[in-house]
Amino acid sequence: MPWIIERYIRAGQSGFTPAKLAQATLALAEMQLGTIRVRSMPFVLRIEPCNVCNLRCPLCLCGNRRDTRPKGMMALDDFRQVLERTSKWAMITRLDGLGEPTQHPQIFELVRIAKSYGTSVVMHTNLETANCTHPEPFLESGLDRLVVSVDGADQETHERYRTGGNLETVVRRLRSLVEARRRRGQRRPILEMQTIDFDFNRNQQPALRELSRSIGVDRYQVTSVQRSLELSHYEPGRPKRCPWLWTVLSVAWNLDYRSCTNAWSFAWPHRNMRELPPESFWNSRAMQDARQYNLGQTSKSIASDPGCRCNRCYEMMVVPLRGEYTCD
């Protein structure tokens, strides 16, 4: 819970209202209590604008081309439908999924639409597509927080994971964003430079932190992805509470619901927003079973479903991690 609050509270302020804050408090309380049939609705909306990417990151199912779903871009009308159906309770909209969001040709229009429905908007990007050439669209769209991936202090290290990426391009564009924001006297978007912690870039992280200071971003974040069995602290029967099942609604580019954003390529729960509104989905039998499984692994429907990520989730310590991490 502290991580969820710290991660979103600063960038999410533009989406706060008394009613939404009360609803979010209830959602967090029900997560801690392990409520199966909830009264609350999720306060974070995770939308996948597209499932295509310009890079070939080896641990990403989009980058390594192992995502077997049809490729596509979310239509503007579908996007409006998602916001229309969730605007009463969603405080924060995250525009990212199994793909690079700025590959969507109308990505800044998506940001403007989300802002018009009263949510704050967060986006993660590699900052290396044609839509990222100029800083003005980022500043004029109303975007609240932008997280930019930089995984090495030199080109060789950066492209070891960001295959096909160019460090000089990313740094130049980040500097341009910082300078354009300063000229305009804006505080938004909050700019964060993020590094994935790998063995091969760990010794460069001090230099990357210093690079972030020299650029002038607001925050430098190191996120852990590769995890060992020793670090996972797996305890049978004592999984962590899964925030996705109580606080975050994930919607794919074609309006398919997903259990979480670690499961874009998994078919479960086999439902689409066109056929089932969010209020009905959130307390559907599938979601109640998933919460029950997270609490005690007692749902037979979840345990026996090969298309569900919940029954193999080491993120929530349902099972121990074996082998190499793959970002879904």
- At 48-62, the pLDDT tens digits run 999 999 999 988 888
Residues paired with residue 257 on neighbouring β-strands, in sequence order: 251
The pLDDT value given to residue 296: 84
Q: Which residue has the higher pLDDT, 167 or 306?
A: 167
pLDDT per residue over 243-293, tens digit each? 899 999 999 999 999 988 888 888 899 999 999 999 999 999 999 999 999
pLDDT per residue over 294-314, tens digit each? 888 888 889 888 888 888 887
Domain 2-12+43-312 fold is TIM Barrel (3.20.20)
The pLDDT value given to residue 43: 92
Token couple for 42: 């999720």
Q: Provide the CB-side half-sphere exposure for 324 (13 A, CA).
A: 8
Percent of the chain having pLDDT more than 70? 88
The pLDDT value given to residue 228: 44
Rounded to whole angstroms, the Cα distance separating 282 from 240 reads: 20
pLDDT per residue over 2-60, tens digit each? 555 666 666 666 767 888 889 999 999 999 999 999 999 999 999 999 999 999 998 88
Question: Backbone phi, then psi, for 77, in 5-degree steps?
Answer: -65, -40
| Beta strands 257-258; 219-224: pairing state | unpaired
The pTM for the full model equals 0.89
C-alpha separations of 172 from 176, 215, 235 in Å: 6, 9, 45
The pLDDT value given to residue 162: 94
pLDDT per residue over 182-201, tens digit each? 999 999 999 999 999 888 99
Q: Please report, for the chain, the start and end positions of each structural domain, with discontinuous segments joined by +.
A: 2-12+43-312
Q: Tell me: cis bond preceding 189? Omega within 30 of 0 counts.
A: yes
pLDDT per residue over 223-248, tens digit each? 876 554 445 566 666 678 888 999 99
The pLDDT value given to residue 230: 47
Rounded to whole angstroms, the Cα distance separating 299 from 205 reads: 42
The pLDDT value given to residue 58: 87
